[in-house]
Amino acid sequence: MATVLQFGEGNFIRSFIDYLIQLRQDKYGDGESVVLVTPIDNPYWENFRKQDCNYHTCVCGKVDGKAVREYTYVTVVKDCVNPYREYDRYVEAYMDPELKVIISNTTEAGIAFNAADKYEDLGTFPAKITKILYERYKKYGEAGRVELLPLELIEKNGETLKAYVLKYAKMWGLGADFIEFAEKIAVYNSLVDKIVPGFPRGHEAEHFERIGGEDKLLTVGEAFLSLVIEGDDALKEKLPFLKDPRVKFTDDVRPYRERKVKILNGLHTALAPISMLAGVGIVRDAVLDPDLSVYAEALANEEIIPTIKMDKALLNQFKSDVLERFSNPYIDHLFSSIILNSVAKWKTRLLPSFLACDKGNRKYMLYALAALFCLYDSADFTINDGDDVKAFFAKELPTEQKYEAFIRNESFWGMDLEATEGVYTASVDYVRAIKAGKVRETLKAL
């Protein structure tokens, strides 16, 4: 059925991995075939069946100074399976003897371990992977081996996923032979970089006219694309789409990851709640806004870049390039999509810079954290985050008491941020001001 099992049917991975596979198929005829798996029970999967899993992806931006708008018709996706609604079809997909690799993009919250998971359940993503590997091992032995390429933006994403697989294998008593088999499976650390706003809401008619019909799965993204993989580039022979010149193999992905996650993703995550509270809904408009643009520059220059141990000239150039990418006039990147799972994103993308920053010089990140709390605590905002985050904000508490509990919540941050860092004391005034409607006033006064 397929050579690639892909956990994630969202805009990003379809505009990235499936796009690369399609380019290879169109040029050389040796692209992979893909089956998508929905990591959660999402009704969106039904749209794929309605379109035979075919869709367009559009690249919009500048390449070598020239405006580009190119459409690629993606036909390499053969199915989209929802394991919560059609389990037998899911099993058929992961037991395919032709399967080579499992690729995933389940957000930062996806690679997690839950001691309550049972073998027979559809638990966390690593739990699903463990069961897939074990079922393939039981049926095919060594021939059932597949490789894992996770794309989630967490540090050492491949190593972390493999560690959780082995932890589940031991917890479930799957046997020493299988554990030895699993230990030998190649799991790659990786880093992806491409801005993908997704479906062009408000501009779809223009795109539909260009492609000659309606496409509810259409995705739009920038021209820039980068994939860095830690490991032997022999993987390119198994997966020819990785021969694309924008794919780089290295012996250490960490410097690339730290630069990208702290600067690009960190700016996105910090800007999202502040901009939304200030009435700005599109990334481009934020970096052109006189108040928000000054904030973004100051946050990067004073609190993020000083925490990265790389050549400062290169970091400053990367920052400038990022802000230029943010201002792309051809795409509308909505903060309403960036804000998804912001608590986990804050922990991954901003907290490392925050902890490495001088305690007396981190007011911009403190303001971003206060803004996130205020947005989530607004009756007018619908939280799209983990169940634990939703449950926390559903509690009826006085604002300042609730904010202190938010800052001290070790399940969110991995520590009590007031006890160790004095965050509540240093930022509660920002919460008071934002709640009073003084977003821009306090932003200008930082």
Distance of CA 367 to the CA centre of its chain: 23
Give the three-state DSSP class for 175. Answer: coil
Using a pLDDT cut of 70, give the percent of the chain over it.
100
* Per-residue confidence (pLDDT) for residue 40, from 0 to 100: 87
Mean pLDDT of the chain: 94
Q: Which of 102, 98, 95, 100 is nearest to 36 (CA)?
A: 102
Residue range 239-274, pLDDT digits in tens: 999 999 999 999 999 999 999 999 999 999 999 999
pLDDT per residue as tens digits for the range 94-126: 999 999 999 999 987 789 999 999 999 999 999
The Cα 27–Cα 23 span in angstroms is 6
Predicted local distance difference test score (pLDDT) of residue 172: 98
The per-residue pLDDT for range 380-393, each reduced to its tens digit, is 999 999 899 999 99
For range 301-318, the mean pLDDT = 95
CA atoms within 13 A on the CB side of 275: 29
Q: Which residue has the tokens 């021939």?
A: 143
pLDDT at 53: 96
Question: Measured between alpha carbons, how far apart are the two ends of the chain, in Å?
Answer: 56
The CB-side HSE value for 419 (13 A sphere, CA atoms) comes to 9
Q: Which tens digit of pLDDT belongs to each residue from 175-198?
A: 999 999 999 999 999 999 999 989
- Given a contact cutoff of 8 angstroms between Cβ atoms, the answer to whether 140 and 2 are in contact is no
List the one residue out of 165, 167, 162, 168 whose CA is nearest residue 188. Answer: 162
- What is d(CA 176, CA 116) in angstroms, rounded to the nearest whole number? 22
φ and ψ of 259, to 5 deg? -60, -50
82 alpha-carbon distance from chain centroid: 20
Beta bridge partners of 61: 68
Query: How many C-beta atoms surround the C-beta of residue 196 within 10 A?
Result: 22
Distances in whole angstroms, Cα of residue 329 to Cα of each of 71, 325, 371: 17, 9, 27
- Which structural domains are found in the chain, ordered by start? 4-250 (3.40.50.720), 254-445 (1.10.1040.10)
d(CA 109, CA 358): 28
pLDDT greater than 90 at residue 127: yes
Q: What's the pLDDT at 109?
A: 79
Q: Is the pLDDT of residue 66 over 80?
A: no
Confidence of residue 359 (pLDDT cuts 50, 70, 90): confident
* 314: number of Cβ within 10 Å: 11
Residue 62 has pLDDT above 80, yes or no: no
Rg, Å, the chain Cα set:
22
Closest CA to 315 of 268, 255, 359, 357: 255
Residue 227 near residue 21 (C-beta atoms within 8 A): no
d(CA 221, CA 298): 27
pLDDT of residue 270: 98
| Per-residue confidence (pLDDT) for residue 42, from 0 to 100 | 80
